Amino acid sequence: MKGLDIIYPIPLKELKKVKEINLCDYGCGREAKFYLKYVKKWCCSKSANSCIVNKEAKRYLEYENLNNDLCDYGCGQIANFISKKGKKCCSSSYRLCPVNRIKIGILSKEYSHCITKDIIKKILNTRGKSTIYENLNNDLCDYGCGQIANFILSNGKHCCKNSYLSCSKHKELIGNKVRYNLEKYKQKFPKLFEHEELREIDGKIEGKCRHCGKWFILKYEQIRSRIGYIENKTTNCYFFCSKKCKLLSPDFLKVKKREEIDVKNYDSYNREVWRLTYITVKKYGDMIKDLNLRGVQFKKSLDHKYSIVNGYNYKIDPKIIANVNNLEIIDSIENGKKWGRSSITLLELFETYQD
């Protein structure tokens, strides 16, 4: 068979039959050009789904519905089309049936008049999240909100809403969430007490301001943020009693969002820093620890301890940012999360700078 395009490896037994094969095994009548390895058949196309016979098998053909049979997908409309497999549908494609359109999330105004409460109930029942039922005994919601239950959830409980998250009682519990006390923080986050001094008075946790040293009541979000920064080995988040102390403190490194930065000027500054950085690496690469581990293979990358963003904000000479003592190899994921944050202060940058 001349001009035969074989795209998959063919077993030796099948190679002997090549000369005898002329037509597609799926019965379309076309010349076979490809051998499909996994189904062990010859086909006119690269995929069995692309063959005309298989395409037509999935199509819905219009027919006379003398018995007024309903759509097999449960929309309640009379079927006008039938597939070669015998599946009846109200539309020329199962995707256009109102029930399936809701399931795949492409409901349009054109089909909105076809939607009924019965259809929506059926769809909710098939999702497995919750089931609408007739509450003849007026049973109350199991989550304690006091309302009549309209749904049975997948865990078997009765609820006023189709999800327990929407129940008013559950929302109250989230709003009045019990926080950790000092002992629980010590048990769960011992690293926090290695960096910070905390105390508990009348059930409220207090900490010291990084700038003025004043004791003040800490918010739950402040503690969680500090724990997150300690665990990620960064030093840019501390406790401050006010915005004034935060701005006056040398430990607070203000990071602007990219939208707030003059992009053109920043990009030129960024390019200059990296140009000088590459020169530094060539000259003093032996002074950078684990430099040979950078790259995709080891998931490490070169990082500026005092970030390029902060250098741009404070108008620091690119030579200082590209200094060998400001370079280190860190995990690529941590480097991506860091972006504009710095792992050292401005004073530490100038102390370690070598011209």
| Residue 153, phi then psi, degrees to nearest 5 | -80, 170
Whether 274 and 299 map to the same domain: the answer is: yes
Q: Are residues 348 and 269 in the same domain?
A: yes
pTM above 0.85, yes or no: no
Question: Does 263 fall in a domain?
Answer: yes
Residues 142 and 206 in one domain: no
Question: Number of structural domains, the chain?
Answer: 5
The three-class DSSP label of residue 161 is: coil
Whether 301 shows a pLDDT value over 70: the answer reads yes
pLDDT digits (tens, 9 = 90+) for 63-117: 888 888 888 887 778 888 887 778 888 887 777 787 776 555 544 444 445 545 5
* pLDDT tens-digit map of 173-223: 654 444 678 888 888 888 888 888 899 888 888 999 988 889 999 888 788
Q: Which of 248, 274, 290 is the last residue of a domain?
A: 248
Residues 153 and 117 in one domain: no
Half-sphere exposure of 115 (CA within 13 A, CB side): 16
Question: Cα dist. 130→22, 104, 115, 166 in Å?
Answer: 55, 18, 20, 12
Residue 233 is part of which domain span? 182-248
